[in-house]
Amino acid sequence: MDTALLESTANFLVGPGRGILAADESNGTMTKRLESVGVESSPETRREYRASLFAMPTISKAISGVILYDETIRQNAVDGTSIPDYLHARNIMPGIKVDTGAKPLAGHDGETVTEGLDGLRERCAEYFEMGARFAKWRAVIRISDTMPSEACISTNAHALARYAAICQEQGLVPIIEPEVLMEGDHDAVRCYAVTADVLAATWDECKVQGVHLPGALLKPNMVLPGKGHSTRSDVETCARMTVDLLHSHVPHEIPGIVFLSGGQTEVEATAHLNMMNNMGPHPFQLSYSYGRALQATTLKTWAKNRDDVSVAHKVFAHRCEMAHLARSGSWSANLEV
């Protein structure tokens, strides 16, 4: 394990003012998103859309890394070079989704365990050769009156730790993503408690597997009530509870937190991150690994203006600038259009 390389990459990804673009939607998910905006999904249309994002002129101001899907890492950018080479040339690290999806957890209806450990070492070695320098693995945790079960928490924590150890062995910084979903009618206090339990189990397993925490990143949910709850948390409450959770339940050796935006609007995800960064100092960088919170409006705009990518670039540049400002607590609502 090259700990110096891992630490250098991890710190690069959470460097000042920048964060990660999650462009690793599976072909099935990307097909649904393209069809929702009236574009037929194919390897070429998926490449066309993603390559247009990566070509946005000011992308490197706000984006330090891009998580790719297996199909995308093998495709070419707008200038004909490979997408990993294109990103490296723009001072952006290519990353790769390496799990194979959440599958039903035996004996536990409604719960899942993320698979993909078989053959992972060989896949990581190939991706590193292709230019990837970090990876992502997402565990999915649901909340209900009976969930999550101890089995769900333990099996996903174990898989996350084994994934992280294998990635580090092959030179890839692991993004550890145990996502507690917003689906449900639970309140924010319940979200906090479940997320704390999931994190505790994950760090315990990482210790057992020998994961080098200074060379890893965490991609957690924020502390929010479920979508079905009667009230929504205000921005300050969400930020305060999330910061408290992280300070108390994340080892301070972790160099950065790259939040997922799951279930939030573009502005909500930006406002929450901005507020948290105003509550510092923190023992780790608070950054982003956003998918829809950077792309939702961009995708709709691109679909209507495929003959002129500058129109979508303007929209994407705005979202990137808002996220960039939130890294330093400099965003405000009046900057939104």
For the residues of 73-84, what is the DSSP string, one character each? HTSB-TTSSBHH
Of 157, 150, 159, 145, nearest to 108 (Cα)?
A: 150
Catalytic pick from 111, 136, 179, 219? 219
Name residue 104's beta-bridge partners. 112
Residue type, 223: V
The DSSP 8-state label assigned to residue 184 in this structure reads S
Which residues are within 8 A (CB) of 222 and not within 5 positions of it... i.e. 6 or more apart?
Answer: 238, 242, 259, 264, 272
Whole-number Å distance between alpha carbons of 168 and 51: 28
Catalytic pick from 7, 177, 179, 266? 177
Whole-number Å distance between alpha carbons of 242 and 244: 5
Architecture of the 3-335 domain: Alpha-Beta Barrel (3.20)
All structural domains of the chain with their residue ranges: 3-335
Tens digit of each residue's pLDDT (9 = 90 or more) over 17-64 = 999 999 999 999 999 999 999 999 999 999 999 999 999 999 999 999
Predicted local confidence at residue 32, as pLDDT: 96
Q: Are 143 and 190 in contact (CB under 8 A)?
A: yes
Predicted local confidence at residue 232, as pLDDT: 82
Which residues are within 8 A (CB) of 255 and not within 5 positions of it... i.e. 6 or more apart?
Answer: 7, 10, 11, 14, 214, 217, 284, 285
- 119: how many CB neighbours lie within 10 A of its CB? 10
Helix and strand numbers, DSSP H then E, in the chain: 13, 10
Question: What is the pTM for the complete model shown?
Answer: 0.96
Q: Provide block-wise average pLDDT over 10 residues at a time, the chain (337 residues).
A: 97 98 96 96 97 98 98 97 98 98 96 98 98 98 96 98 98 98 93 98 98 98 92 91 98 98 92 97 98 96 96 98 98 92
Predicted local confidence at residue 230, as pLDDT: 82
Based on the residue annotation, tell me whether 219 is a catalytic residue of this protein: yes
The pairing of beta strand 102-104 with beta strand 112-114 = antiparallel
Tens digit of each residue's pLDDT (9 = 90 or more) over 85-122 = 999 999 999 999 999 999 999 999 999 999 999 999 99
Predicted local confidence at residue 263, as pLDDT: 82
